Structure 1
């Protein structure tokens, strides 16, 4: 059992959430398994019920678990889809038929903003940006590649973290108190070139769904640019329209 850091640097509920998130991603708890109850978390980590409940609520909000009244809380999974009216974290796009979901950081670096990135994030060209490149897999098979870009001076701690073991979006919200407001997305149909085909393990020229997304905070400032490359044979898009 991992110990919590009571120094106050990170909220206790977020630390518990991160540990359970990692256990689910690593396959310790699989789809259909029951995870520790709030009372067990309270005893194991010496925290209040409110802290344990908050951690469980974060997992539920990520679509990872569902509470069954009078029975317990169980790991769930969703069919891989993208609702274009919402920004969904990777944990909400788990494969319905997979038993092991994993993610791997391919690369993290600091790079100068080119013309497109500067335009997307409304910064000057050559502004230092963090680029986080991560590969997502289901049942050990590549599912999609995600590139996240942030202004380095705004979220420098992102460069030092291992986001194969915790939720990036939850970290940004809890560590930097980023309050997201809305996002704009663009969808492209492209063909896999050599580097992309190697990472996604598809043939060169295979169809790929690319989604570019800019996320804005409550002050209408673009804080995140994400470019994601989905294998078309493993994903579909779902759009809900008001009529």
Structure 2
């Protein structure tokens, strides 16, 4: 690995900043990876802790690195910005941004849910609903933990391909889907154990929570809950 040059006028902290940035750009330190500790960098480059901290601070302020209290300093994941548009699937949005979409199925089963959600989907509160949990990925990076709720009558979805085919396309294979109406609610949520594990973030990390109630002329089609790593996946709306 290149070392710092004492024969140039560029300060050591700036040389170290440049070397670390080049290592990140060349894949020595991958996105999300932990970089060496301050003590390790001091020994590796033969510089003071003040020099190391100044170099790391510069990269942190530029958004290249992110510090996690009690854990260390990590390479920040690249930020993905989606222009929000109705009726556009996650897959279509990723492809439009030049990104590789991915979906990982976590689970799907009929289960009991809160009474208001069961009432919304089933018209009664004593029936379970079909719950499909998925993780959405952009260029192999998990960005959204998603839960879709359907009435218990949508049992056909227990075997449908919901990893490779957009959900609305799957629905259209089994039932007529009329003109859809979307109502969205946004609020801050905090990652539970399952979400944190799926999104590679600490428990209680603030997430953007989005509840989307999708309905047509006949009633509610499904309810979609998204828990979004808003530090790396952002929505932009235009009006």
- Give TM-score, length-normalised by structure 1: 0.59
- Matches of 1:180 and 1:133 in 2, distance apart? 25
Gaps of 5+ in 1: 1-78
Deviation of the 1:119 alpha carbon = 4.1
Q: Which residue is 1:88 aligned to?
A: 88
Map 1:139-218 → 2, pairs under 5 A = 139-153=139-153, 155-218=154-217
Quote the Cα distance in structure 1 between the aligned partners of 2:164 and 2:224: 19
Q: Separation in 2 of the partners of 1:119 and 1:233?
A: 34
**Contact 2:90–2:101 under 8 Å retained in 1:** no
Does the 8 Å contact 1:214/1:226 carry over to 2? yes
| Separation (CA, whole Å) in 2 of partners of 1:134 and 1:180 | 25
Deviation readout 1:38-67 (Å, 9 max, x if unpaired): xxxxxxxxxxxxxxxxxxxxxxxxxxxxxx
Per the TM alignment, residue 136 of structure 1 is displaced from its structure 2 partner at its CA by 1.0
Structure 1 residue 187: Cα displacement: 0.3
Contact 1:215 1:225 in 2 (8 A): yes
- 1:180–1:215 contact (8 Å) kept in structure 2: no
Instruction: Give the whole-Å Cα distance in 2 for the aligned partners of 1:82 and 1:206.
Output: 24
Which structure 1 residue ranges, 4+ long, deviate > 3 Å from structure 2?
Answer: 95-98
The separation in 1 between residues aligned to 2:231 and 2:173, in whole angstroms, is 35
Consecutive unaligned residues of structure 2, counting only runs of 5 or more, are: 1-79
Match of 1:135 in 2: 135
CA spacing shift, 1:186–1:82, aligned 2, 3 Å: farther
Q: Any idea what the Cα deviations from partners look like across 1:154-182, whole Å, max 9, x if unmatched?
A: x2211111211222111212321121321
Report if aligned partners of 2:122, 2:151 keep a CA contact under 8 Å in 1: no
Q: 1:97 to 1:202 in 2, by over 3 A?
A: farther
Alignment RMSD (CA, Å):
2.1
Tell me the CA shift for residue 97 of structure 1: 5.7
Distance 2:136 2:94 in 1: 10
Judged with a 3 Å threshold, the aligned counterparts in structure 2 of structure 1 residues 122 and 163 are, in CA distance, closer, same or farther, namely: closer
Q: Secondary structure at the match of 1:166?
A: coil
Q: Which residue of 2 aligns with 1:237?
A: 235
Q: Deviations over 1:109-157 (max 9, x none)?
A: 011342131243362112231111011112222110110011121x221
Residues 218 and 186 of structure 1, relative CA distance in 2, 3 Å threshold: same
Asked whether the 8 Å contact 1:173–1:179 carries over to 2, the reply is no
Find the residue that maps to 1:180 and give its secondary structure.
Answer: coil
CA distance in 1, matches of 2:170, 2:179: 13
